[in-house]
């Protein structure tokens, strides 16, 4: 903060700084004027909605980690492709075992679904006809409901996608994967652990306290059923039960320090490989989507009036 020559206080707040893509155009929807918005959808009607959370991520990682990671990836993709990024949805839905941790702010699933559905509906009204809900939090079992609710109950005529950043890199997230020579993921991806700490450390190094990562390590990993039947975060192993299909031990009982894993094994280098790989793969999809369905062209994925006979 400083006082300018006019005597006015000059302070650039968190949301007042515009961000531009490589074409010199604004990235974020909330920073555009209506004139800029109307021009944007003529050229590119794809919008990414980062869906994150505010929740405990251990003693050394910021509570907004999920939103920070998802927004970073969306912004990097938008910088290269010219798509728009909507303001992130900061609060999220949570599985039962997350409840009660300091800093975790769960939203009831019904409220969350309705809220995101409204966002989708009115993004479509604004001219965005390809809407990508980019999830970065453990709620990937909830968000697909939004897609169907928007089309069937709200009459939205748009192509809606639901994905999570880790879905683009599942092949490199398994324990023991050598990300590059000498750089190995030592532990399974779960929560506030080696992988998540690495990713946040790469995208937002000032939001990680490396001195606290070791202290945040889990004392003991526990599971209700053996791992051979139960998957980990991201369902990267393809096991019979997805991570969200089983009632899990409460974090407040078994992981009171907030990390379900070992963030002390994290490194920025591991995060770099994972994030940059995800970004490049998402960019490839976005470029295909824009070429296959240019602005204003939408495959009919909604019913016609009279289709239903009930």
- Residue 1 pLDDT > 80, yes or no? no
Give me the mean pLDDT over the 230-248 stretch.
96
> Class for domain 17-291, per CATH?
alpha beta
Per-residue buried b or exposed e for 265-291, using 16+ beta carbons within 10 Å of the residue's own CB: bbbbebbbbbbeebbeebbeebeebbe
- Residue 62 pLDDT > 80, yes or no? yes
Q: Are 73 and 279 in contact (CB under 8 A)?
A: yes
Give the orientation angle of helix 194-203 with respect to helix 268-292, to 10 degrees: 70
Give me the mean pLDDT over the 233-239 stretch.
96
Q: Band of the pLDDT at 8, cuts 50, 70, 90?
A: confident
pLDDT attached to residue 2:
78
Q: Are 194 and 266 in contact (CB under 8 A)?
A: yes
- Per-domain boundaries in the chain: 17-291
- Residue 3 pLDDT > 90, yes or no? no
Note the pLDDT tens digit of each residue in 130-158: 999 999 999 999 999 999 999 999 999 99
Residues 6 or more apart in contact with residue 197 via CB below 8 angstroms: 58, 60, 61, 208, 213, 259, 263, 266, 271
Note the pLDDT tens digit of each residue in 82-92: 999 999 999 99
Per-residue buried b or exposed e for 170-208, using 16+ beta carbons within 10 Å of the residue's own CB: eebbeeebebeeeeebebbbbbbbbbbbbbbbbbbeebb
- Residue 202 pLDDT > 90, yes or no? yes
pLDDT attached to residue 14:
87
Note the pLDDT tens digit of each residue in 29-50: 999 999 999 999 999 999 999 9
DSSP label at 156? Answer: -
Model pTM score:
0.96
- Residue 6 pLDDT > 80, yes or no? no
Note the pLDDT tens digit of each residue in 267-293: 999 999 999 999 999 999 999 999 999
Residue 246 Cα distances to 40, 96, 137, angstroms: 43, 10, 17
- Residue 70 pLDDT > 80, yes or no? yes
CA 81 to chain centre: 18
Three-state DSSP class for residue 33: coil
């Amino acid at each position: 903060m400083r006082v300018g020559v006019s005597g006015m206080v000059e302070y650039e707040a968190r949301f007042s700084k515009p961000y531009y893509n490589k074409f010199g155009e604004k990235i974020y929807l909330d920073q555009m004027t209506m004139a800029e918005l109307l021009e944007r959808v003529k050229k590119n009607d794809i919008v990414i909605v980062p869906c994150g959370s505010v929740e405990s991520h251990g003693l050394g990682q910021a509570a907004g980690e999920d939103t920070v990671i998802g927004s970073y990836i969306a912004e990097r993709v938008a910088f290269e492709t010219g798509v728009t990024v909507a303001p992130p949805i900061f609060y999220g839905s949570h599985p039962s075992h997350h409840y009660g941790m300091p800093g975790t702010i769960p939203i009831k699933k019904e409220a969350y679904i309705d809220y995101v559905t409204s966002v989708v509906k009115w993004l479509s009204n604004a001219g965005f006809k390809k809407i990508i809900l980019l999830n970065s939090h453990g709620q990937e079992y909830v968000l697909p409901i939004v897609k169907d609710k928007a089309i069937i109950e709200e009459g939205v005529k748009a192509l809606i996608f639901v994905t999570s950043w880790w879905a683009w890199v599942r092949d490199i997230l398994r324990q023991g994967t050598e990300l590059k020579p000498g750089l190995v993921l030592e532990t399974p991806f779960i929560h506030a652990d080696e992988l998540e700490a690495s990713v946040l450390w790469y995208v937002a190094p000032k939001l990680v306290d490396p001195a606290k990562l070791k202290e945040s390590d889990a004392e003991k990993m526990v599971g209700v059923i053996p791992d051979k039947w139960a998957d980990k975060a991201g369902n990267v192993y393809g096991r019979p039960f997805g991570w969200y299909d089983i009632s899990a031990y409460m974090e407040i009982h078994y992981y009171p320090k907030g990390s379900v894993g070992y963030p002390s094994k994290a490194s920025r280098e591991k995060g770099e490989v994972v994030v940059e790989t995800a970004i490049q793969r998402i960019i490839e999809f976005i470029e295909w989507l824009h070429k296959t369905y240019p602005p204003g062209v939408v495959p009919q994925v909604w019913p016609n009036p009279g289709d239903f006979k009930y």
